[in-house]
Structure 1
Amino acid sequence: MPYLIRILHLILPWFSIAFLPRKSLRQFFPVSIVASLFVTVLCLLAIPYKWWTVKGGWKGKLLNDSSFILGPFFVGTLWIFHFTFGKFKRYMLVNLIMDVLFSFPLSFLYQKLKLFTLVNFKPKHIFLSFISFSLIIYGFERLKRGLK
């Protein structure tokens, strides 16, 4: 079951890209890469600090983390920026909703489905990390726009 969920996480979000205007894809691709790098660093730090564990050793962790980062997180960042960039309050509201959903009900569900087990990291830490990332990447996008 975890393997199927990982595959779906990776593949399904990319089907929605067909509906994203090319201009938005080009425009927000760099900020999605930056956001994904932040989450990648978080996942790498999770190893020595034992923030969470994944069955299957490093292969399981790599599959688990990359399916989330390259799937819903990357594509979700594209869509969120497409619909909200330039409207900071809307951007923060959407991020608050998405981050709360992932940090609390989804993280509990994913643990029940044995995708991962939180050890020294709690749902509130997920939320605080993701909301911090959202502020940083919004600033990155604003800066990128200001340099053009």
Structure 2
Amino acid sequence: MSNQILFWSILVLPWLTLIFMKKETIKRFMPVALFSTLASVLAVEVGENLGWFIYEAAASPLRTGSYIIFGLNPVITIWLFHFIYGKFWTYLLIDTVLNFGFIYLFHVYFLGSRGLFQEIGITPSLNALITTIVGVMAYGYQVWQEEIFACPEKAGFKTNLQPATAKPLQNEKENPHNDK
């Protein structure tokens, strides 16, 4: 299999798994997936600029590990939060195991054996630790998201507000500004 087919598969195929998830769940966890993606982009930029690792090839015309960052990262984040959000220690354990597995099996073994990725100034363990720290930050972000977007009904506040289109029209007698 060519590297470009591999890269584009990693970029596109994970998104197809979301057809098995409810739309409300995707909407709920998409912000944390985007946060995780942004944090990963920053980590990759820092890592490349500090000489920690090198991506030898990319999904053309994209640069670096875009195929992982924009494919696997947000989708795995959504699935992970879907199944274990609300259980922090379980989340931390599973996220750590996934990060170590991903770094060692996918980055070092699979991509490294194909000559597509090299860790130079960082150990795989430190790379996985940094990735786990990003995961903890993402969990904190989701906790914050849940707090700021709490539904008014859940907070004990009910309102009887309606959109303007639901208001009855005024008749001519009530409207003093009606010029005929």
Q: Taking structure 2 as the reference length, what is the TM-score of the superposition?
A: 0.75
Q: For the residues of structure 1 that align with 2:55 and 2:19, how far apart are their CA atoms?
A: 32
Partner residue in 1 for 2:24: 23
**3-state SS of 1:121 partner:** coil
- Give the aligned partner of residue 100 of structure 2: 100
DSSP-derived class of the 2:116 partner:
coil
Which 10-residue stretch deviates more, 59-68 or 126-135?
59-68
CA positional deviation for 1:41 = 0.3
| Corresponding residue SS for 1:117 | strand
Which consecutive segments of 4 or more residues in structure 1 shift more than 3 A? 58-64
Secondary structure, aligned partner of 2:122? coil
Counterpart in the other structure of 1:141: 142
**Which structure has the greater CA radius of gyration?**
2
Identity, % of aligned positions: 22
2:77 matched to which residue of 1?
A: 77
> Aligned residue for 1:91?
91
8 A Cα contact 2:7 2:59, kept in partner:
no
**141 and 50 in structure 1: CA distance in 2 versus 1, 3 angstrom threshold:** same
Q: Displacement, 1:106?
A: 1.8
Corresponding residue pairs, total: 147
Aligned counterpart, 2:36:
35
| Match status 1:11 vs 2:32 | no
The letter of the residue matching 1:94 is: I
Q: How much does 1:59 deviate?
A: 7.9
Greater relative contact order, per chain length (Cα 8 Å cut-off, separation 6+): 1
The runs of 5 or more residues in structure 2 that have no matched partner are 151-180
Q: Structure 1: where are the runs of 5+ without partners?
A: none
Partner of residue 120, structure 1:
121
Per-residue deviation, residues 4-56 of structure 1 (Å, max 9, x unmatched): 22111101101101011111100000000000011100111123211111225
Q: Relative to 1, partners in 2 of residues 1:46 and 1:79: Cα closer, same or farther, differing over 3 Å?
A: same
State the AA in 1 paired with 2:104: F
